[in-house]
């Protein structure tokens, strides 16, 4: 068997030498016309020379020589001047440079570490022109990574702030006034806090200010008026005094004296009896009583401006503030020759 295989290999080499082509493996009769050496097999492989880096560098072959470097575990070929690592060339970009061509700054840096070249993003190289619109969202930003110094003035507006995102502790409340709010109907504004209607005790004095002095003065005046005559009307004051002064009846009302002449009673048959006023009743000694209540209530509360007495009729005529008159009939008090 060995002898047959030896003759087969020898025959192949002889055939190749004659024809200038060699094929090893399956289908030796089929060889491409452009091939010098052709291998074909579905169960065997070609194993080339395997040497270390030191052994490889000691060999200076013709350009195109191929070896397998056992240290670097990769094929190398000789380009006529040096051994080239095929693994570094596969997928590589020749003449790679970091000099910027389109951008303003260099965005990459290439660092050589031994026989390896590391491509990294250069520090401070990614600017806004390198980021596509919408390219960075919340999932791409580390929590708490953006501080106040990284946010431009007026960069964050109302549309960028989520509802209820800013709490009271984040607001400088001392710097916020009503003028900072754009109110719509339904909100209280500064002009609506205090009414400008006349007589309002509330005023706007850097806030709502209540002055109660006018109310206190009114209460004191009303209290004094009620104590004086039972109400707050100064036109119907009680008669506080009624005395006979000579031949005159002197009536005191609200500190004002009004005299009624009684000369007609000062004649024969009269014994100069005294008149007495009790509340609103006028009486004479040992005589009848005349009520003056009708002249105080159920009227329009006007001041009596004048008194006149008609001796012939024994009637007192009271002239009122509005020009009207009222009469008091004193006939019951008259009686010639009697003191009743």
Question: Are the CB atoms for 302 and 321 separated by under 8 Å?
Answer: yes
CA-to-CA dists, residue 263 to 105, 249, 309, angstroms: 127, 10, 9
Burial of 326 (0-12, 13-18, 19+ CB in 10 A): middle
Identify the pLDDT of residue 83: 94
pLDDT tens, residue by residue, 129-159: 777 787 777 777 888 888 788 888 888 888 8
Instruction: Report DSSP letters for 43-93, one per residue.
Output: S------EE-HHHHHT----TT-EEEETTTTEEEEE-SSSEEEHHHHTT--
Indicate if the pLDDT at residue 224 is higher than 60: yes
pLDDT tens, residue by residue, 236-269: 666 667 777 877 888 877 677 888 887 766 655 5
What is the average per-residue pLDDT within 283-291?
A: 70
What is the average per-residue pLDDT within 305-325?
A: 75
pLDDT tens, residue by residue, 85-104: 988 765 555 566 777 777 77
pLDDT tens, residue by residue, 29-49: 999 989 888 999 999 999 999
Q: What is the pTM of this model?
A: 0.28
Burial of 50 (0-12, 13-18, 19+ CB in 10 A): exposed
């Amino acid at each position: 068997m060995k002898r047959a295989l030896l003759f087969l290999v020898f025959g192949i080499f002889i055939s190749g030498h004659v024809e200038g082509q060699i094929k090893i493996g399956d289908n030796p009769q089929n060889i491409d016309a452009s091939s010098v050496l052709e291998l074909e097999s579905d169960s065997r492989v070609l194993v080339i020379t395997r040497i270390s880096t030191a052994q490889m560098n000691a060999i200076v072959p013709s350009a195109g020589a191929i070896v397998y470097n056992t240290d670097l575990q990769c094929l190398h070929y000789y380009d006529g001047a040096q051994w080239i690592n095929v693994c570094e060339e596969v997928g590589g970009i020749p003449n790679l440079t970091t000099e910027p061509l389109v951008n303003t700054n260099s965005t990459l840096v290439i660092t050589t570490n031994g026989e390896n070249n590391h491509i990294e993003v250069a520090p401070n190289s990614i600017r806004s022109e390198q980021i596509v619109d919408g390219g960075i969202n919340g999932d791409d930003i580390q929590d708490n990574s953006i501080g106040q110094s990284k946010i431009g003035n007026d960069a964050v507006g109302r549309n960028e702030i989520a509802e209820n995102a800013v709490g009271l502790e984040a607001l400088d409340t001392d710097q916020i006034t009503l003028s900072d709010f754009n109110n719509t109907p339904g909100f209280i504004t500064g002009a609506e806090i205090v009414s400008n209607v006349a007589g309002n005790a509330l005023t706007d004095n850097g806030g709502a200010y209540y002055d109660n002095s006018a109310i206190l003065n009114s209460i004191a005046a009303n209290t004094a008026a009620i104590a004086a005559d039972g109400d707050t009307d100064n036109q119907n004051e009680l008669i506080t005094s009624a005395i006979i002064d000579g031949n005159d009846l002197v009536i005191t009302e609200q500190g004002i004296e009004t005299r009624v002449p009684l000369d007609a009673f000062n004649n024969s048959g009269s014994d100069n009896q005294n008149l007495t006023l009790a509340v609103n009743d006028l009486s004479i000694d040992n005589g009848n009583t005349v009520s003056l209540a009708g002249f105080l209530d159920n009227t329009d509360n006007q001041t009596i401006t004048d008194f006149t007495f008609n001796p012939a009729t024994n009637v007192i005529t009271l002239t009122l503030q509005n020009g009207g008159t009222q009469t008091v009939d004193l006939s019951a008090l008259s009686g010639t020759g009697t003191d009743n």
